[in-house]
């Protein structure tokens, strides 16, 4: 049971390049989400998914796309990287219980630098 696995751990991109950050979980969690974390700030929600085939925008969705074709995977795509997207990205998964979320588990993060 690996939990939430993110790849790559580090990435450097040039402005304008595109790439996909991978996230996979093996806990059969319905809910998955992507956050970014910038220095001195908390985590901000980018996109989330409440199940396969269902995605929605979070607080800071511009410049990012997601899809959820399987329960296990939730990739995050940067369409055209910008220096403002330099950040640490975290994927998380959880399952619904008691009308809300439970068991919220984070991956170890992807540190992205856009030059």
Interface with other proteins by CB under 8 A: which residues?
A: 4, 31, 33, 35, 40-45, 48, 50, 58, 90, 96, 98-109
Q: Which residues contact 35 (CB under 8 A, 6 or more apart)?
A: 43, 44, 45, 46, 58, 89, 90, 91, 92
* Shortest reach from residue 74's CB to other proteins, in Å: 13
Collapse the DSSP code of 84 into the 3-class scheme (helix H, G, I; strand E, B; otherwise coil) and give the result.
Answer: helix
| Residue 88 C-beta: closest distance to other proteins, Å | 9
Q: Nearer to other proteins by C-beta: 44 or 82?
A: 44
Do 80 and 63 meet the contact criterion of CB atoms below 8 Å apart? yes
**Between 14 and 42, CB nearer to other proteins:** 42
């Amino acid at each position: 049971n690996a939990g939430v696995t993110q790849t790559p751990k580090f990435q450097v991109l040039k402005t304008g390049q595109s790439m996909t950050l991978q996230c996979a979980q093996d806990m059969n969690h319905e809910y998955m989400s992507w956050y970014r974390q910038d220095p001195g700030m908390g985590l901000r929600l980018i996109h989330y998914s409440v199940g396969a085939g269902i995605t929605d925008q979070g607080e800071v969705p511009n410049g990012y796309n997601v899809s959820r074709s399987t329960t296990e995977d939730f990739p995050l795509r940067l369409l055209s990287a910008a220096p403002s997207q330099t950040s640490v990205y975290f994927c998380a998964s959880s399952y619904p219980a008691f009308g809300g979320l439970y068991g919220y588990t984070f991956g170890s993060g992807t540190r992205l630098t856009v030059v």
